[in-house]
Amino acid sequence: MIEFKNVTMKYKTNGAVALDDVNVRIDDGEFVFIVGASGAGKSSFLNVIMGQEKVDEGFVRVGPYSLGKIRKRDLPYLRRMLGIVFQDFRLIPKMNVYDNVAFALRVIGMSERKITKRVRYVLKLVDLSDKADNLPNQLSTGERQRVAIARAIINRPRILLLDEPLGALDLKMRKEMQIELKEMQRELGITFVYVTHDQEEALTMSDNIIVMKDGVIQQIG
Ligand code: ADP
């Protein structure tokens, strides 16, 4: 599903080497963790997958797209393969839960009948059916994070990118969400690429762990 071959990426602004000769293969349906200290290159790895940063050397493929050669008009199709969950949720404050989740489907012009069906299904999956009318500020932190996850999977992405998704949650909620995410992997067959600095989280949930340091992959396994 994702392949990096001899990938090097530097930020133009300061010349920082964020990825240094990275080689990775992530299979369809795999649950992969990226761990490493701050500055290791984890977010940069995700930025390359999203097509947000171009690599300086090497080859990157995401699904059918070679990112070095991707045309501008294909970028929206690449993005549609991806669901993205950030630590800070990024919900729209004036929209209730239902509309936050439905938003991406309205943008692509789906019929309201279909949208209702999909939003109901996904809200059930993240256990938020009874909170559809709430505004984000009427939710707990854990519930807001669930909305962010519902929103990321509503488009039926093939790949879910998660950057420290449970960082804002307390231990009990983290454990619950970990179980739910694993269930989602089984139920939906999505490929998970999950960035964390919490090694225990990685050890309990992963099919594979990629350990990064200073832009270099130190271990995969
Ligand atoms: P992590 O996500 O593991 O904390 P990053 O991928 O954010 O690591 O950072 C990798 C390296 O790239 C670091 O040296 C960091 O300072 C640098 N870096 C990250 N983002 C930028 C940016 N937008 N511009 C310049 N340098 C950056």
- Phi and psi dihedrals of 179, rounded to 5? -65, -40
21 alpha carbon – ligand 1 mean position (Å): 16
Residuewise pLDDT in 10s, the chain (221 residues): 999 999 999 998 988 899 999 999 999 999 999 999 999 999 999 999 999 899 999 999 999 999 988 888 888 889 889 999 988 788 999 999 999 999 989 988 999 999 999 999 999 988 899 999 999 999 998 899 999 999 999 988 999 999 988 877 788 888 888 888 888 888 889 999 999 888 888 888 888 999 999 999 999 99
Q: How far is the CA of 60 from the centre of ligand 1 (A)?
A: 19
Give the bridge partners for 32, in sequence order.
Answer: 193, 208
- 9 close to 67: Cβ distance less than 8 angstroms: no
Whether residue 44 has its Cβ less than 6 Å from ligand 1? yes
Provide the whole-model pTM. 0.90
Residue nearest to atom 14 of ligand 1 (CA): 39
For atom 11 of ligand 1, which residue has the closest CA? Answer: 18
Tokens coding 79: 């993005």
Instruction: Report which ligand 1 atom has the smallest distance to the Cα of 43.
Output: 2
Give the C-alpha distances (Å, rounded to integers) separating 155 from 12, 38, 122, 131. 33, 31, 10, 20
Sheet holding 2-10, edge to edge: 17-26, 2-10, 57-62, 65-66
Between helices 112-125 and 97-107, what is the axis angle to 10°? Answer: 130
